[in-house]
Amino acid sequence: MIIVTGAAGFIASALISELNKYNFNNIIAVDLFDSDLKNQNIEGKKITQRVNRHELHDWIQLNHEEIEFIFHLGARTDTAEFDRALLAKLNTDYSKMIWKNCVKYQIPLVYASSAATYGLGEFGFDDQENLSEKLVPLNPYGDSKNEFDIWALKENKKPFFWAGMKFFNVYGPNEYHKDRMASVVYHAFNQITKTDGMKLFRSHNPKYSHGGQMRDFVYVKDVVKVMYWLMHHRKNSGLYNLGSGQARSFLDLVKAVFVAMDKDEKISFIDTPIDIRDKYQYFTEATMDKLKGIGYPHPFTTLEEGINDYVSHYLKAQKRY
């Protein structure tokens, strides 16, 4: 029996598909299940039971002997959410509850951290754990994730295996419900469909050309492949970056979307809004040596390959993974 929290969400629903692919079908899906659009992400998937997230603690007490693994991917992921009490409740405190149950019943755990913990990257993007307390996230969401990472590292009692995954810029199928928090690939596809063109932010940093701002974009299929591998690995606990390891520009991304859509490029630039300009990240790139160092064997999908697969097989047909 495998618990997946945030089950109807973007990454978690893709993970359930990955688990089903390898005949792991005894899935306990945890979420609120209050969004028809999100619930479409898990339609047709093999799931044993749906559990309301508010009832998870009690459910674990009754069923802990059967639980083999927990993937805790549910969280409030809005980077524009400034209600710190809400983020503490939904992200930090809820994660502590799951952690303590994993300790009590010796259940291995993989949970979602975030590259938002790195802030502007003043200390780089290295997943060495001694850096966690130095990091300065740019928003309360990043703070809530970093606070849990720090708490977990300091805990004397830990699950026999645990891994906190610092997701970078994940894109791919099943993000239809995310609205403005969806990936740039998703927004580019929709904007190009409506207008035949795409607008990108101008650079306000002389080191970067317009559209030359760079991010580590990672395909969701690669993300769930890593987590599936960790479920079997079950050693080398700690924090891990989960990106492609290769920063690419927004211009590269948008050009790949035009190619995948078989449309002529039409790219224009607008000013970055003043209210976010001073906190705008111009570069992120995951250091992936740590994950590879524990034996992760698979290559990561290139940006062009990932976008072509996403656009051709999912976005054009509005299909889920």
241-256: b (≥16 Cβ within 10 Å) or e: bbbbbebbbbbbbbbb
Question: Rounded distance, CA 182 to CA 201, Å?
Answer: 17
Among 9-13, 84-88, 99-103, whose mean pLDDT is lowest?
A: 84-88
DSSP notation for 147-188:
HHHHHHHH-SS--SSEEEEEE-EEE-TT-GGGGGGS-HHHHH
Q: Of the ranges 252-266, 272-286, 303-317, which one carries the lowest mean pLDDT score?
A: 272-286
Tokens 């035949």 sit on residue: 196
Look at the chain and count its residues. 321
pTM: 0.96
CA angle 234, 11, 89 (to 5 degrees): 85
User: At 78, is the pLDDT very low, low, confident or very high (cuts 50, 70, 90)?
Assistant: low
**pLDDT band at residue 278, thresholds of 50, 70 and 90?**
confident
Look at residue 80 and tell me whether its pLDDT is greater than 70.
no
Give CA–CA dist 97/39, Å, rounded.
25
The pLDDT tens digits of the residues spanning 155-201 come to: 999 999 999 999 999 999 999 999 989 999 999 999 999 999 999 99
Q: pLDDT tier at 76 (50, 70, 90 boundaries)? A: confident
Instruction: Compute the average pLDDT of residues 80-107.
Output: 86
Q: Please provide the average confidence, as pLDDT, over all residues in the chain.
A: 95
Q: Identify the pLDDT of residue 81.
A: 61
Q: Is the pLDDT of residue 120 over 80?
A: yes
Judge: domain 2-171+216-246+282-301, CATH 3.40.640.10: no
- 24, burial (CB in 10 Å: exposed 0-12, middle 13-18, buried 19+): middle
Is the pLDDT reported for residue 125 higher than 80? yes
For 289, other C-beta atoms within 10 Å of its C-beta total 12
Three state DSSP letters for 262-284: CCCCCEEEECCCHHHHCCCCCEC
Check residue 79 and give its pLDDT: 63
pLDDT at 200: 96
Residues contacting 104, CB < 8 A, separation 6+ = 64
Give dist(CA 139, CA 122) in Å, integer: 15
- The mean per-residue pLDDT over the stretch 102-123 comes to 96
Does position 90 have pLDDT exceeding 90, yes or no?
no
Look at residue 280 in the predicted model and tell me its pLDDT: 86
207: exposed, middle or buried (Cβ count in 10 Å: 0-12, 13-18, 19+): exposed
Q: Say which residue, 276 or 18, is predicted with more confidence.
A: 18
**What b-and-e string marks burial along 27-66, b requiring 16 or more CB atoms within 10 Å of the CB?**
bbbbbebeeeebbbbbeebebeeebebeebeebbeeeeee
Average pLDDT on 144-148 reads 93
Question: Which amino acid is present at 29?
Answer: A
pLDDT of residue 82: 67
Listed by start position, the domains of the chain span 2-171+216-246+282-301, 176-214+248-277
- Which residues carry out catalysis? 141, 178
pLDDT tens, 24-58?
999 999 999 999 999 999 999 999 999 999 999 99
